[in-house]
Amino acid sequence: MTKSPTPMRREWLLLGIIVLLALAVGARAPVFLTWRNALDIGNDSAILAILVMGQMLVLLTRGVDLSVASNLALTGMLCALAAKAWPALPLPVLVLMACAIGAGLGFVNGFLIMRFQLPAIVVTLGTMSAYRGAIFVASGGAWVNDHQVHPAIKGLPRDTLFGLPMLIWCAAAVVVLALVLLRWRREGRELYALGGNPSAALYAGIPVSRRLVMAYTLCGALAGLAGLLWVGRYSIAFTELAAGYELTVIAACVIGGVSIGGGVGTVSGAVLGVLFIGVINGALPVIQVSPFWQQAIAGAVILVSVVLNARADRSRGRQILERPAAALQGASA
């Protein structure tokens, strides 16, 4: 893995842009720079941050997981239904269950991609609609409404600890774990190696298939956790929950400098990408721009940041649709 030319400068630049943006909005509407609003943005960004950490692991391996939003919604629905059916379930069991269901769904992605050497984008495109449909099958199309959502699930993101809501603590814990994994653990470093050059990684003795499945499983587990938190935060579960959110997740990764071509990306960059989206989405209503602009702005920001990335490392253009034979050559040999 070669480091992108100026990894530090990039992140400071992004941080600078975020601060400038916040100050500019604050100058027009001072309410934007209050502690309360910062908490709101933190709360809104927490779930995105959890999802982005998972997506980042997958992007590092040159893959992509488009099924995260469906995974989130399916896990959230299953947990809500389980808690509705057995109100005695304690919270730790629910959290474990969410992670396990999510991990299982993620494992299916990873297994299909690894075992049959299929392109990640197509597999996860397929599971995206498959999981989404499974929500309808599981719930019979019915909504789990506010009063039916188990109080423990509703309380989880809202409880506060040392003045900060649990939602933010959860996101912080996930970010720290991702940092430890990607910086100090062998498994994490192997993800970079695998994304940087799959065949070299194989010859270097890295268990490529196992790492690939690990990345998707972890991504799924985090999506499951995010699903439980999402249902708790908005205290509702329905079939179309978080539909299309996978694009926001990928946008945050790309803005944060995680290369879609694999092998490049840092946790701090990804977190800044999340904050950027959080600040923009928080700012729009404050400066009275229609929320309909959100999606268009996200799209424009993705395009601008990939063009900037491309200028930073011109020679490193890689195709995600690269032939799997080359990407995983000899994985089965």
63 DSSP assignment: -
Rounded alpha-carbon distances, angstroms, from residue 295 to 195, 219, 277, 291: 29, 24, 11, 8
Cα–Cα distance measured from residue 19 to residue 74, given in angstroms and rounded to the nearest whole number: 36
Residue 112 is a binding residue for other proteins (CB under 8 A): yes
φ, ψ for residue 52, nearest 5 deg: -65, -40
Residue 196 is a binding residue for other proteins (CB under 8 A): no
Residue 329 is a binding residue for other proteins (CB under 8 A): no
Could you tell me the smallest distance in angstroms from the CB atom of residue 212 to other proteins?
Answer: 16
Six-digit token pair at 80? 């809500």
φ, ψ for residue 237, nearest 5 deg: -140, 125
Cα–Cα distance measured from residue 229 to residue 235, given in angstroms and rounded to the nearest whole number: 9
Cα–Cα distance measured from residue 249 to residue 253, given in angstroms and rounded to the nearest whole number: 6
Cα–Cα distance measured from residue 170 to residue 217, given in angstroms and rounded to the nearest whole number: 19
Query: 147 or 314: whose CB is closer to other proteins?
Result: 314
φ, ψ for residue 165, nearest 5 deg: -65, 150
Cβ–Cβ < 8 Å for 298, 38: no
Query: 190 or 246: whose CB is closer to other proteins?
Result: 246
Contact characters 145-184, other proteins, x per CB under 8 A: ----------------------------------------
Range in contact with other proteins (rule: CB under 8 A) among 146-154, 169-177, 220-228, 317-325:
317-325
Contacting residue, 7, 26, 104, 126, with other proteins by CB under 8 A: 126
Rounded alpha-carbon distances, angstroms, from residue 136 to 102, 129, 311: 17, 11, 44
Could you tell me the smallest distance in angstroms from the CB atom of residue 157 to other proteins?
Answer: 27
Residue 287 is a binding residue for other proteins (CB under 8 A): no
Residue 127 is a binding residue for other proteins (CB under 8 A): yes
Contact characters 128-147, other proteins, x per CB under 8 A: xxx-xxxxxx---x------
Contacting residue, 284, 306, 312, 329, with other proteins by CB under 8 A: 306
Residues 236-275 interacting with other proteins (rule: CB under 8 A) = 239, 247, 250-251, 254, 260-261
Interacting residues toward other proteins by CB under 8 A: 64, 112, 116-119, 121-123, 125-130, 132-137, 141, 239, 247, 250-251, 254, 260-261, 290, 292-300, 302-303, 306-307, 310-311, 314, 317-325
